[in-house]
Every structure is written in C-alpha cells, then in structure tokens.
Amino acid sequence: MRAKHSYRWAWATLASAGLALALTGPAAGQLNLKQPEELAGLELEQKLDAQVPLDLQFMDEDGFPHRLAERFTGDRPIILTLNYYSCPMLCVLTLNGMVDALKEVELTPGQDYDIVTVSINPSEQSQLTKQKKQNYCEYWGDPLAPAAWHFHTGNQNNINALADSVGYRFRWIPERREYAHPSVLIICTPDGRVSRYLQGVQFDPKTLRLALVEAGQGRIGTVVDDFTLFCYMYDSTKGTYVMTAVGAMKVGGVLTMAALAIWLSVLWGTERRRRTGGKDSGQGPGGNGGISTDFTAEGASGTAPAAGATRA
C-alpha cells in the first residue's frame, strides 16, 4: 500500500509540475527557444515581382550549359527551387513535398508549368545531379516529369546572384558539413518575375495550383480558377489563399447583378406578352393559328359556290 501511495504521489507531483509549466509559460519553465546561431540572418526575404537574372548560366544534369532564359521562355510559369543534392534531410523533404502536391494538381508538367532546381553547392557535379533527377522523377511517376523538371549546378558567383535576386539566404556550416537554408518553392511568371513564395515542406495542392494559375497570367487554368483569384488573395502569414472583405463584396456584387438581370428579363418578358396580347406565339385570339382570313367574293357572301358551277 505504501508503494502504491508513493507512485500516486509521484504521478500527481509530475502532473502538477507539467500544469504549472504550461500555465506560467517558457519563462517560468526556463525553456530556451532561442533560434540556433547558424540560422541567424537566414530569414527569407520575399521580393515579389523581382526579376530573375535570365543571363545567368548553369550546367544541366548532362553537363551542358544553359542560360536561365532557356528555361524561362515566356510560355508557362516556373517553380524555382534552390536546394543541394547531397542535403541530408531538408531538401529531400521539400522536393518530396512538392511532388506530393503536384500529383494532386490537375495541371500538366511541361505544358502548364516547368520546374527549375538549382544547387546552392558549387562543388556538386552533373553525375550526382543526374542521379537525383532520376530518383525524384521516379518518385513522381509522371512520364512527362523528366522533360519538365530541369536540374542544375553552377559556380558560386552565379548561385549567389540567383539567390540574392529572389531573397534566398544560405550559409555553409563547417562543423556540420552542411548548408543552413530555408525551405521554399518560388513561383515565377513565364518571363521570370517572382510571383509567390510557398514555404514549408508540405504544400497544399489547391494553394499550389492557384499560385501557378496566378503566375501564368491567363495562360493556364479554368474559369473557376479565375473566379477564385478574383475573390481571393494570398495570405503569406497563413500560406494559403483567403477571401478578403473586398473579395466578399465582389462576390456579393456579382450575385446581385445576376439576380437583377434575371428579374429584369422576367419583367420585360411579361410586359411584352401583355402588350402584344400573346400574338408573338403565332396563335391569335380566334385560334386560327395565323391562317389568312381573306376570302374570295363567293366566300365573302357567306355561301360557297355550288358544286360543279362554273365561274363567269
């Protein structure tokens, strides 16, 4: 009995301590939630409408040089990602999360959008790049993916210039032999301007679709997408599209105009029928169906010509 009482006392003490810690907050619990020093200064700077420098040159997975202008052709929006192929975790989570979302997005890679991935590690070579592309495309499972997803490496100057243009900061951590960097998809317009940032390692397919449609500037998407973007706007704090007060007013205005148009159509139709007495249908009041009432002289007298009679 004494042992059981001791266990109960211990559990009660532990529960009380946990409750006190929850109620009094981190200060009372002496919790240290300070950001790691290696992440200081690496916050993503969202440079909306910034122009990606299209003259920068990078090597593709086969070792051939390409200017970014060859990727941003003006035909469709681009998902730009900055990662590195030997990343132990975060880059894998980011790219897998992107693929998982794209699997549920009813848009066609290579037709409605392309993907450009650039390594932030200048020491990585095309052999590793090619292997990583193959792995991710196999995971995606879409036969159109290899032609739509371009993997690149480059020198430090070009990497820095691209990263600076889109507000992406990263740092090499020597003691851990890895890069500290943010996790983000940068949605760009067909001509290479930054349209939207989607941060995290998991991405909502609806949000990703709307971001691509918005960046496509009318080149892709449906009427439903256009209407949604007409009423919604992207909330960077929530990472999704939300209806604003202005959007609600727009919806109300559209519905009001539609209802007014229907009411006026019914009113005008009723008034027109009243004025014409129903003759628009081709059926007059006498029920003759519009047949002419003109008669010959004999018909006008009210008697029909005798059978076999001849006319003068």
Confidence at residue 262, expressed as pLDDT on a 0 to 100 scale? 78
Domain 57-221: which topology? Glutaredoxin (3.40.30)
Phi and psi at residue 150, in whole multiples of 5°? -110, 120
pLDDT at residue 7 is higher than 80 = no
Confidence at residue 240, expressed as pLDDT on a 0 to 100 scale? 67
pTM for the model stands at: 0.66
Confidence at residue 40, expressed as pLDDT on a 0 to 100 scale? 75
Look at the chain and count its residues. 312
Rg (the chain; Cα; Å): 36
Written as one string, the DSSP assignment of 103-120 is TTS---BTTTBEEEEEES
Confidence at residue 254, expressed as pLDDT on a 0 to 100 scale? 54
CB-count burial class (<10 Å; 0-12, 13-18, 19+) for 249: exposed
Q: How many CB atoms lie within 10 A of CB 98?
A: 23
Distance CA(195)–CA(110), nearest Å, equals: 19
Residue with more model confidence, 274 or 227: 274
Work out the pLDDT band at 200, boundaries 50, 70, 90: very high
pLDDT at residue 5 is higher than 50 = no
Confidence at residue 188, expressed as pLDDT on a 0 to 100 scale? 97
Distance CA(67)–CA(54), nearest Å, equals: 7
Contact 115, 78 (CB under 8 A): yes
Confidence at residue 30, expressed as pLDDT on a 0 to 100 scale? 40
pLDDT at residue 219 is higher than 90 = no
pLDDT at residue 127 is higher than 50 = yes
Confidence at residue 94, expressed as pLDDT on a 0 to 100 scale? 97
The region of weakest confidence among 28-37, 44-53, 61-70, 272-281 is: 28-37
Three-class secondary structure of residue 183 per DSSP: coil
Contact 177, 162 (CB under 8 A): no
pLDDT at residue 58 is higher than 80 = yes
Three-class secondary structure of residue 176 per DSSP: coil
Contact 166, 181 (CB under 8 A): no
Work out the pLDDT band at 24, boundaries 50, 70, 90: very low
Residue with more model confidence, 122 or 235: 122
pLDDT at residue 312 is higher than 80 = no
**Dihedral of CA 294/297/301/303: which sign?**
negative
Distance CA(62)–CA(151), nearest Å, equals: 9
Confidence at residue 20, expressed as pLDDT on a 0 to 100 scale? 35
Q: What is the mean pLDDT of residues 171-189?
A: 95
Query: What amino acid occupies position 128?
Result: L
Which residues sit opposite 79 in a β-bridge?
115, 187
Confidence at residue 282, expressed as pLDDT on a 0 to 100 scale? 47
Residue with more model confidence, 180 or 290: 180
Work out the pLDDT band at 299, boundaries 50, 70, 90: very low
Tens-place pLDDT, residues 248-290? 454 445 556 666 667 667 777 777 777 776 555 444 444 444 4
Confidence at residue 291, expressed as pLDDT on a 0 to 100 scale? 43
Tens-place pLDDT, residues 88-114? 999 999 999 999 999 999 999 999 999
